[in-house]
Structure 1
Amino acid sequence: MENAFPQLNQRLHNRRFIVANNSQGLSGSDTVFHYLVEDRAITGTYQGGRIRTGHQVGRVTGPDTIELLYHCITTDGEILAGWSRGTVGADQAGRTTLHFVWGWLSGATGGGESNYVELVE
C-alpha cells in the first residue's frame, strides 16, 4: 500500500514527545509519548509522571491530522481510556508539534485540549 501522507509519517514515526500544555489532563512534564506509524496506522506507548504505562492506537486521517484511542494505568492503579483528534505541525525550531482535542471514555469524565512537542535529545 502506498503511503498517502509521507510527510506526516516522517514527522511522527519513531519520535518521542513531551507535554507542552495539558492543564486539564493526566499526563504532565514527566510523561513521554513514543509513536510508530505504518502507512495510516499509528501505535504508541506513553509513561512517566502519573502514568505507569499507557498505549495508543489510531490512524492518519489527513495530511496533518490523526485520531487516537488510548488507555493507561496510573501510578494510583486507576484504569482510564479515552479518544483524541490531533493536528500535526512544526514549531519555529523545526520540532514536530501535536495539538489534541480529547475526552475520556472510561474511568473519568470530561476532556480538554493538549499540546505536545518533539523531544530532541
Structure 2
Amino acid sequence: MKTLSGTLSIMQNLEMRYQANFSGVHEQDLITQDLLHKLELEQNNAVQLVQLAKQLKECRQTRRMMKDEIELMQPLMDFMQDGQNKRCVRQLQEALGKMRDVSKHHENRRYYPRVL
C-alpha cells in the first residue's frame, strides 16, 4: 500500500513540478527581455554592464536548468496524459482509497460475543 501511495504521489508531484518549470521558463524569458531592454535603452557604466551581464547569465542558466528538467519529464508526462493511462492512474487512486478503507476497517475491528 505504501509503494502504491508513493508511486501516485510521485506522479502528482511530477505534474506540479512540470507545470512550475513550464511557468518558470516563461518567467525567465520575460526577465531576459527586461535585461536586454536595459542594455539596449539605458545608459550604463562599466560596473552596471558587468552586473547586467551577470544577471543575464544567471537567468539563462536557470532557464536552461528548467528546460532540461522539462525534457527529462516529457516522456512520463506524455504517458500520463494518454487517455488510457489517465484512466489507469485514476483506477489506481480508487484502488488505493479502497485499500485504505479496508485497512481502517481492520484497525477498528471488534468482536462482540454472542453467547458469553
Per the TM superposition, whether the score is higher than 0.5 is no
Query: Which structure shows the higher strand fraction?
Result: 1
TM-score interval (norm. to shorter): under 0.3
Comparing both chains, which one has the higher relative contact order based on Cα–Cα distances under 8 Å and sequence gaps of 6 or more? 2
